[in-house]
Each structure stands twice: as structure tokens, then as C-alpha cells.
Structure 1
């Protein structure tokens, strides 16, 4: 295949798509104004779990695809930084959405089988085992795999997709929260601010996620290099500076959920802007100077839908 493809964005969606296209023989260049480790993907919780993304048959298929791909990565590439982690999903709704368990191995058990100390008062929950990525390892691994297949990387800002027509035949727009304005035909993308605190791990081995904590989104995620404590879901907020008051709330909620993390030394802080959209957009965009594919709107499920997105983009191009 001789098509020259520009993938705009070097986060988990951009890199996964670039790798998938290169593996299918495409001539791929990744264009981004920041390194992968400076992207929103580097801030993400990076656990396979659908969060702030649409529910549809197409997305369900992408969940299954991504889960299977991560299982293969865990088995074949331990250096990638992806692990199968066991943890608890806390539920506070009388009828919680457990549809995601259809793709997980039979590792989830009824909340009544959990120790009471593992759940907040009045909550239910599931214990499950899913992929969790250490993004400081996984993103560089993706980039190295891309480079091994001949993918080129250019660090530059793209403000006009049509201007790429002189050098490329296809543009894949995977620029996260900037994607809608970059294409100029979609004002529906809303930033969803997420703030995290990374601390030294005092020995926590299981993750805990409580999306519906009345005090705010709360999660404790053990990675290989640290423990990620979060988080926030601030629709429309755009500040990339960590807020001390918000950090204090995160630390308090996480310590209440997992007492072992109380007082853990802080390693770093980070903020990212999730690309919120009512519906995921993976489609060809007509009327451009070169063939253009939109690949954005993943909300908080970029890692969770990454390989499904990559395969869908590849199918569109074929």
C-alpha cells in the first residue's frame, strides 16, 4: 500500500492507530506538538474499564477487541508495562451497569462474597481482573514498536488538516480534545478535566474504583512505578495546573477508600483534559483536501477503546 498517512496525535489512540496501520503496510507519520509522555494519555488512569464513553453495539465490539489485544500484550510483551490486575469496582446504584463484565473472564464475584471492609457502607461491588497499564512504560513501548515498523515522528503543531494534502494522502485526526476544532466541523467536544496524584506504593496490590462516591470520583490504581490516586471529572474546565484544594480532596477520599495510602509520599502530580463527546466519532469526514478520518471523543475510555479504535480506522481505510 502506498498511501501516505498522517496520524495527528501521539496519545494512546494516535500511537495504537499508527501501529495498526503500519502493520498493514501503510506509510505512516505521526504528527504531534508534544511528546507522548506529555499527552492526556500519560495522565490517564489507564485501566481497562468503560468510563465517560457512549454505550452502543459498536463500542461494545471495541471493548472486546481492546481487551483481547491487551491480554495478548500481557502474555507476549511483559516489557510493555501492561499487567492484569485484580481489583474492586464499587457500585452505589440500585441497578448498576455490569454490561462490561460480558467480556471479562469469570473472575467477577458477587459483592456479598467480598469482605465488608472492602466496600464503603451501603455499597455493592464486583471483584474483577482487567488490564492496567503503566503509561510511563506503555506509551514509549508503543512508540518503539511503531518506529520498528518504519513509522516516522514529527514534532509540530497542525492547525489546518487540508494543508497536509501536499505531503499526505490520508489524515487520521486523533488529537483528543483539539480534534473537533482541528477539523472545523464539530463543536461538540467538551474538555473533561482530570487531576491525579502519584504516590509511592505502600504495598497496595489491588485497584479500587468508586466512580459514584458522593464526595467525588475516587480511584486507587497500583502501577509498576507508583500508585495513582484520583480523581476529578470537571466538565468544561481547562486549567492544566494541579489545584492544591482538589489534591487535598483526592488524598482524603483515597485514604478513606484504601486506608493504607494515607500519608504516602507524593511522587508527582498531573492534570489532563479528556475529550468528552456524546458519541464517539470514528468516521470518514467528507469535503477535505485529502481523505480524512476522525478518531476521537473517547471520554475517559481512551486506553479501554484504543485497539478497537485502531482496527476500526484501519477497516475504514481498506
Structure 2
């Protein structure tokens, strides 16, 4: 299909989708209520790993397709793209609890208990893409514009009024009202940014069911500490008691973190959908084609390029 496409949403899912469409010859406009720096994606950690995302039968392929893109970006220009390959440990994680996709992750290995940091008895080591999201979002915008795409600060309140032959809904949590989709809900994540006391590896201990998680990600100029996964919580203000608890949990793994100077606090609302990611095409309400690509939960970065490829195939047939 030739012609114009409007992508609703300028997070990592929306931008990667727009890039794939623009690079296949469509005239693409991305419409977003918020500037890039205020999207949920801008707050993300962001480590490649399929976390809190369904459906499992599709997530593996999306994740691996994205992994290969991030590996290429890290090899080509980590400074410009914001993508680096960094070693680290997933504690309280065993290979048997993962999908078949884990077989395709180079270097993923089980650690002996005495090599797992902190008060944890099991863990997996890997060297994975770690993305500096403010840098990466700016790079994505540049790649979109180089392909002829346009980013517009404009809220979309009705998909029927988008006015293009192809409309792609990448609205994240906004799909709750826009579709509307009552299965969308927020899972609140709070982070603490501190001066890096010399940590050069990432660490996670994040259950899929607990509201408290422990992780730290070394990013340029800061160390990101987390976190929380509070279901149906939408308060955008950081909670001081929660921040103190995050620092304390991370310091149990790396004691030097307790003395690190706090640089700031962040809160993001993960766009979780009860039925899992919705990625499908249907006739548009005003004619044309409407494609939904939302509900990625805490793994939008992890599956962004794989989902974008699938959207492009639905739209162009190739």
C-alpha cells in the first residue's frame, strides 16, 4: 500500500513503527500529545529483556528481532544511538523459566550460587543491550526524519479523524480511552537516579508478580536504580519512602550505592494490557486500514523493532 500513514504515539514503539513504514516508502506523520522527553519510553531503564509482556507465543520472535537490531546499533555507533552491550546478572532467574527465545541469546549462562551478587541463590549472566533512552529517542527521531517522516505535537482524540489511508495506533496507555480498551491499565514504576560510584554492570532481581523490584543500570552520567511494579497505580509524583527503599535494596547488592548522591527521581506508567499486546489490522472507522500496536507493558523497548516489522508487513504486504 502506497500513500500516507499516521502513527499515533511517539514512544519507542511508535517511532520504530514509523521508521519501518517510512523506509518502505510511505509518507509518515507521527502525532503525539507529549514531547519525546515526556513519554513513558524516556523514563525507561532500559535493558533488553522480555519482562511483564504477553502473549508468550509471539513475544519471543518480536524480542529476538529487536535484539538483532540493537546488536547492530551497538556495533555501529553506541554514542549516537545510545545502545551499548553491557554485561550483568538476572538474579532469581533460571533458564527453565524462560521461553525458547533464550536459546538465541548469545552467552546467556547459569551462574554458580557463589557468583550471584547479593542475597540471591540463583542467576543468569548475559551481555545485553542497555539503551540510554533520551539519546536513543533523539536518534530515532533523526532516522525517521531522514526517511521523510514528520513528528507532530498534536493530540489525537478520535482514530476516525486521523485522516490518512493508514492509521497505526501506538498510543500505549492512551489506547484505554482512544480505542477504547478497558483492558489497559497502568503498572507504575519509580526510579532513582544517582551518581555512579563505579558500577559498570547491570543487575536485576525482578519477579513477575511482586510490586517491589531491585535493579540498577549504569547509563552515561548516572546510575539508574529501581524499582516498583505497582498495578493500577497512576500517581506521577515520586514517593520519598519508596525512593529510600529502592536505594536500600540496591545497596544490599552493591553497598557503595548507599553513599551515592541522588541526582533525581522518575516515575513511568507501563502500559499493560490484560490480554497481552494487541497487534492486528482491521478496517479503519473512516475507511482505509487501522493497525493496533499497543499494550507492551514493561517491554516496549525489548519488542519494538519486531513489532514494527510486523506492522510494516500488515500495511505493505512485504
TM-score range, shorter chain: over 0.9
Tell me whether 1:216 sits opposite 2:212 in the alignment. Answer: yes
- Give the equivalent residue in structure 2 for 1:22: 22
- Give the equivalent residue in structure 1 for 2:192: 197
Could you tell me whether the CA contact under 8 Å between 1:81 and 1:224 is conserved in 2?
no
Cα displacement (A) at 1:119 = 4.0
Tell me whether 1:120 sits opposite 2:119 in the alignment. Answer: yes
For residue 112 of structure 2, give the secondary structure of its aligned residue in structure 1.
Answer: helix
- Give the equivalent residue in structure 2 for 1:142: 140
Distance 1:55 1:29 in 2: 29
**Which of 222, 238, 241 is matched with 2:237 structurally?**
241
Cα displacement (A) at 1:257 = 2.0
Q: Per the alignment, do residues 260 and 130 of structure 1 end up closer, same or farther by CA in structure 2, a change over 3 Å counting?
A: same
Distance 1:214 1:295 in 2: 27
Q: Per the alignment, do residues 151 and 226 of structure 1 end up closer, same or farther by CA in structure 2, a change over 3 Å counting?
A: same
Segments of 5+ residues of structure 1 without an aligned counterpart are none
C-alpha distance after superposition, 1:28-87 (max 9, x if no partner): 001001111110001112110111101433221111100011111111232101000100
Q: What TM-score comes out, normalization by structure 1 length?
A: 0.93
Note the aligned Cα RMSD (angstroms).
1.9
C-alpha distance after superposition, 1:142-171 (max 9, x if no partner): 001111111111101110110112xx1111
- Give the equivalent residue in structure 2 for 1:41: 41
C-alpha distance after superposition, 1:179-237 (max 9, x if no partner): 132122x2101111111111111110110000139782111111123111011101111
Structure 1 runs of 4+ off > 4 angstroms? Answer: 92-95
Could you tell me whether the CA contact under 8 Å between 1:50 and 1:100 is conserved in 2?
no
Q: Per the alignment, do residues 64 and 114 of structure 1 end up closer, same or farther by CA in structure 2, a change over 3 Å counting?
A: farther
For structure 1, which segment, 250-259 or 211-220, has the greater mean C-alpha deviation from structure 2 after superposition? 211-220
Q: What TM-score comes out, normalization by structure 2 length?
A: 0.93
Distance 1:68 1:92 in 2: 23
- Give the equivalent residue in structure 1 for 2:225: 229
Segments of 5+ residues of structure 2 without an aligned counterpart are none
Distance 2:4 2:95 in 1: 51
Cα displacement (A) at 1:93 = 7.3
